[in-house]
Amino acid sequence: MDILWAPWRMEYIKSPRKHTSACVFCEKLHDNRDRENLLLHRSSHTFVIMNPFPYNNGHLMVLPNDHVADMNKLSDEGLLDFIKTTRYCLDCLQSSMMPEGFNTGINFGKVAGAGLGEHMHLHIVPRWAGDASFITVIGETRVIPEHVTRTYDLLAEIFRSHSPI
């Protein structure tokens, strides 16, 4: 029998569950506990958080500050800030983690956003050759080599030291 140790999952398993109709993204934006919420960056129209259940190390989400379901609801300034913030994230990830590529995708609507369709968000997933390997395809298991809070601390420093593009 193969054993895959994932001790960081215990934090999630033991965490209390909130049963609320409020938007989890809006709650994180308005809460002042950025590290606990994995919030890395705030701009005039957009914010950046880490995915607490990443597909890969450095998995970020870019979100508009406004609670909107799709791009058609953003102002021109909000849309420009959203795209510029995405570019800023790519620059920060490239300089800190040196990925060989990225996957990006914007979630619109409930079926596309893991049940969080009321607040559009863009995923950025850094990629390296061999990062998916066989274990994801055959073993239906993903290996994340670094704890998400350690990655947060690294990226928070990078985001503080890099000027937005």
Q: Which of the following is catalytic: 121, 123, 147, 162?
A: 121
Q: How far is CA 5 from the centre of its chain?
A: 23
* Spatial contact of 164 and 44, defined as CB atoms under 8 Å apart: no
Selection from 39, 37, 53, 65 nearest residue 159 by Cα: 39
30 three-class SS = helix
- Rounded CA separation 67/74 (Å): 10
Active site residue 162: no
Active site amino acids: 121
